[in-house]
Chains A and B, each alone.
Chain A
């Protein structure tokens, strides 16, 4: 595996379900990000982890809970979501320092029914 991978690629869940999105980066980076992309809106940053510590939480509802157990893995735990949470969820990573160029995964298409 190379780059940034995300699983699952597609997820359909009911409002009472609990599920998790997984992101893994194989680039040796030490910062990881979750973004939400909704139709007709710019990408919205949700969370930033740097050296496994959350450094930014962009006013995200508590029904989204991130976890970063190590610098290569990032999870987004989901519970009691709303239909308006349906979106493409993108994970990215970057090195700290230097250019900070961000590399993105393919995304998880989430549909909440």
Chain B
């Protein structure tokens, strides 16, 4: 059974700090991995998608990496801002059209 784990479940940092969110997955036949942001009571916003053939993707202050051999992905956020406060979800897609999600990391950036 495919599983995705995100650690920590919650993280609180001061504004301006660089931080890393972790995601681990059990599917060795991963097709791609997608990072999302979810604000309270809202839908998901796609941040980055990494194909299995890629090692990392960057968008602005965000950088996501993928290591298939260890079953891990990280989301690096540089110079965090209060507006980055949200729950961050990672989801792994294997051979089907199904995304398997982690429970998320709730990030709070304090001014």
Q: Which residues of A contact B (CB under 8 A)?
A: 4, 6, 31, 33, 40-43, 45, 48, 50, 55-56, 58, 88, 90, 92, 94, 96, 99-107, 109
Contacts and interface: CB of A to CB of B under 8 A. Distances in A.
A104 B97 contact: no
Contact of B97 (A99, A100, A109): A100
B49 A40 contact: no
Contacts of B60: none
B43 A90 contact: yes
A29 B35 CA distance: 20
A106 B36 CA distance: 13
A43 to B, nearest CB: 4
Contact of A105 (B32, B43, B51, B89): B43
A103 B46 contact: yes
B42 A45 contact: no
5 contacts: A31-B97, A40-B103, A43-B91, A90-B44, A104-B36
A104 B4 contact: no
A101 B42 contact: no
Interface string B69-111: 0000000000000000000010101001111111110000000
Interface residues of B, number: 25
B55 to A, nearest CB: 16
A107 to B, nearest CB: 5
Contacts of B32: 99-100
Contact of B102 (A31, A42, A102): A42
A58 B101 CA distance: 14
Given A42-B4, A45-B99, A88-B41, 12 more contacts: A33-B97, A42-B101, A42-B102, A48-B97, A99-B32, A101-B46, A101-B49, A102-B46, A104-B36, A104-B43, A104-B44, A104-B45
Given A42-B4, A42-B101, A99 B49 contact: yes
